[in-house]
Amino acid sequence: MTWQQQHIRLKPHSRGFHLVTEDILQQLPMLSDYRVGLIHLLLQHTSASLSINENADPSVRQDFESHFNHMVPENQPYYIHTYEGPDDMPAHLKSSILGVSLTLPITNGRLNLGTWQGIYLCEHRDNAGPRQLIATLHGE
């Protein structure tokens, strides 16, 4: 069994849900060394999240953004943590709801995702910078 760890940097994205599967894979050349295993991805931020969903129709990502903005609105009078603007606390809540990590199977040197599945960076801030991930691979 082999363990490896790789830091991954994602360029800044606008607020919304962004398909980043290929951006991640480009930074994981060692993935091809694994016949079978797991990869764990941890997003090292508290105002963005990771998710797996539709990789073909971009309207799904638009609907995600619309739904989460409705579900977790800005400018609520009960928010105390607003130091960085009206998107600050909603971004933290959305990050906790969706989560910041994924564990995915590796099969024959590739992520074993479903046909229509892709990895989303869910950017919850209006003006976010680059995002950092830690990828931990384990397998043979």
Please report, for the chain, the start and end positions of each structural domain, with discontinuous segments joined by +.
Answer: 2-73+82-139
Asked whether the beta carbons of 86 and 18 are under 8 A apart, the reply is no
**CATH number belonging to domain 2-73+82-139:** 2.60.120.460
The amino acid sitting at 49 is: S
Query: C-alpha angle 58/38/44, rounded to 5°?
Result: 65
State the pLDDT confidence band at 69, using cuts at 50, 70 and 90: very high
- Angstrom distance (rounded) from CA 113 to CA 49: 18
Picking from 112, 105, 101, the residue whose alpha carbon sits closest to that of residue 37 is 105
Q: pLDDT at position 132, please? A: 98
Strands 101-107 and 110-111, by their bridges, are antiparallel
State the pLDDT confidence band at 52, using cuts at 50, 70 and 90: very high
Asked whether the beta carbons of 103 and 137 are under 8 A apart, the reply is no
The amino acid sitting at 19 is: L
State the pLDDT confidence band at 86, using cuts at 50, 70 and 90: very high
Q: pLDDT at position 128, please? A: 96
Q: pLDDT at position 84, please? A: 94
Q: pLDDT at position 104, please? A: 98
Q: What percent of the chain has pLDDT over 70?
A: 100
97, containing H or E segment: helix 88-98
Q: pLDDT at position 98, please? A: 98
